[in-house]
Amino acid sequence: MQVNIQDILQKAGLDEPLYPGKRVVKQCRQAGEFKSHCVVYDWRDPEKVRIEVKAGLSGRDLPPKELKKYPVSFQTPTFIEINVR
């Protein structure tokens, strides 16, 4: 299947430009403890764009001690990779 990356990023709510070599972290603040998360748009590999949902607001992998406080949906890898041609 072929998709337009720019259209997908606009529908995903990314307001700033994304281009090869760039990584953008969009924070999604939620009310309550251990519910905030972020969406990481990563195009550092010129052959693919990776969009990932992560626990916390930094965009980094949390240590297991912290990660276990978040809902299970944030504890497992949740991402999509789009090959660029």
For residue range 21-76, list pLDDT tens digits in order: 999 999 999 998 898 999 999 999 999 999 999 999 999 999 999 999 999 988 99
Determine the residue type at 74. Answer: F
Alpha helix segments (H runs only) across 1-85: 5-11, 64-67, 72-75
| Domain assignment of residue 58, given as a range | 5-83
Q: Are strands 37-42 and 23-28 parallel, antiparallel or unpaired?
A: antiparallel
Taking 90 as the threshold, does the pLDDT of residue 8 lie above it? no
pLDDT for position 37: 94
Nearest-5° Cα angle at 55, 49 to 56: 110
Spatial distance between the Cα atoms of 77 and 36, rounded to a whole number of angstroms: 16
Higher-confidence residue: 13 or 25? 25
pLDDT for position 55: 94
Domain count, the chain: 1
